[in-house]
Amino acid sequence: MHVLILGGTSEARRLAEILAAQAPDLTVTSSLAGRVTAPRLPPGEVRIGGFGGAGGLADWLGAHHVDALIDATHPFAATISFNAAEAAATAHVPLLALRRPGWVAGDGDVWHEAGSLEEAAALLPALGRRVFLTTGRMGLAAFAALADLWFLVRSVDAPEPPWPPRMEVLLDRGPFTLDGERELLRRHRIDVVVTKDSGGAATAPKLTAAREAGVSVVVVRRPPVPVGVPEATGPGQAARWLGTLLELGVFLDSD
Ligand code: NAP
């Protein structure tokens, strides 16, 4: 039996770990896009780089006799999710999307929704002068015209221009702590945070820190997902789906 996990998230890695521990006879291949210079690698086989669109992915599924496909990519990686849906249908391979739930505003949160990075940039001048930008190294061009604002840009790898003229880069990757996020907001006198609605615990402490400090947060909404694809919200649920599908035995307590 062969499972292909489209990865690039901590949930994808965790699913590969669960399968390695509980279904050692299963061949698990994790696929990464190759965006990060030194990715944290999951157990099992790993392949890196694009497939060449939905057709290329369908060919790969057939050539490697894949029995199940898990789309565990980031909620903002929309192209690969649509490719996965099309390829799975073409190759007649069962597909599950592993998607962490989005964040929900709570009491005391001052959130502003944006439909895109460009919309987020348009909101900023009315919200603050010192911006903590946590949307990743891609897409900084959307903020490049905001010459009056100062940006703290946090990303895993160094960004590339175009970028805002007044900017400091902080290279780091989650999980982040609440104390660390409080300190960042304080030290850099941040008055607005920009985030994608990535969901998950690893990067959520910035939202708590912003709430405590009364700092506004611009939340970029998720892109649409392909319809008709069954979903799991966590790696344990995805493992149980595979367990049933491939008759691997029961995956209990596997989150
Ligand atoms: P995307 O826009 O949906 O995909 C662009 C192209 O990259 C796809 O068409 C595909 O190329 C290739 N690709 C994407 N994910 C792949 C994977 N797991 N394995 C092999 N090829 C992949 O994706 P993206 O937003 O650039 O994200 C790239 C990767 O970074 C994803 O794996 C995602 O999980 C991870 N990530 C993204 C974000 C984010 O905010 N977008 C945040 C954290 C992690 P082909 O068409 O040639 O197959």
On the question of a common fold for 2-101+224-245 and 111-220, the answer reads yes
Sole residue written with tokens 């690893």: 202
Three-state SS at 154: strand
Q: What is the CATH number of domain 2-101+224-245?
A: 3.40.50.720
**Residue with CA at minimum distance from ligand 1 atom 43:** 74
pLDDT at 208 over 70: yes
49: left (phi over 0), alpha (psi -120 to 50) or beta: left
Spell out the domain ranges in the chain.
2-101+224-245, 111-220
Q: Residue 97 — very low, low, confident or very high, per pLDDT cuts 50/70/90?
A: very high
**Residue with CA at minimum distance from ligand 1 atom 8:** 80
Q: In the prediction, which pLDDT does 250 show?
A: 66
CA of 190 to the centre of ligand 1 (A): 30
The total number of residues shown for the chain amounts to: 255
- 7 ligand 1 Cβ < 6 A: yes
Q: Which residues lie closer than 8 Å to 36 by C-beta, 6 or more apart?
A: 8, 156, 157
CA of 137 to the centre of ligand 1 (A): 14
Q: In the prediction, which pLDDT does 254 show?
A: 65
Note whether 70 and 5 are within 8 A (CB). yes
Number of Cβ within a 10 Å radius of residue 85: 20
149-174: average pLDDT: 96
CA of 117 to the centre of ligand 1 (A): 17
Quick one: which of 207, 214, 151, 205 has its CA closest to 179? 205
Q: Which of 13, 80, 198 most suits a substitution to test ligand 1, by most atoms within 8 Å of the C-beta?
A: 80
State the first-to-last Cα distance of the chain, in angstroms, to the nearest integer: 22
- Give me 207's structure tokens: 């939202």
Is cis: bond before 162, omega within 30 of 0?
yes
Q: Which of 73, 117, 173, 203 most suits a substitution to test ligand 1, by most atoms within 8 Å of the C-beta?
A: 73
Q: What is the CATH number of domain 111-220?
A: 3.40.50
* Nearest atom, ligand 1, residue 196 CA: 40
- 60 ligand 1 Cβ < 6 A: no
DSSP per-residue string spanning 2-27: EEEEE-SSHHHHHHHHHHHHH-TTSE
Q: Which of 15, 57, 79, 82 most suits a substitution to test ligand 1, by most atoms within 8 Å of the C-beta?
A: 79
Sole residue written with tokens 């962490």: 100
Note whether 120 and 114 are within 8 A (CB). yes
Q: Which residues lie closer than 8 Å to 122 by C-beta, 6 or more apart?
A: 114
List, for residues 100-117, the tens digit of each pLDDT value.
999 999 999 999 999 999
Q: Residue 16 — very low, low, confident or very high, per pLDDT cuts 50/70/90?
A: very high
Distance, CA of 97 to CA of 75 (rounded, Å): 10
CA of 17 to the centre of ligand 1 (A): 21
**Helices and strands per DSSP (H, E), number in the chain:** 7, 12
Distance, CA of 91 to CA of 212 (rounded, Å): 50
Three-state SS at 201: coil
- 108 ligand 1 Cβ < 6 A: no
pLDDT at 93 over 90: yes
Q: In the prediction, which pLDDT does 252 show?
A: 60
Partnered with residue 218 across adjacent β-strands are: 112, 194
pTM of the model: 0.95
**Residue with CA at minimum distance from ligand 1 atom 24:** 77
- 207 ligand 1 Cβ < 6 A: no
Q: In the prediction, which pLDDT does 249 show?
A: 75
Q: Which residues lie closer than 8 Å to 231 by C-beta, 6 or more apart?
A: 96, 97, 98, 99
Mean pLDDT of the chain: 96
* Nearest atom, ligand 1, residue 56 CA: 48
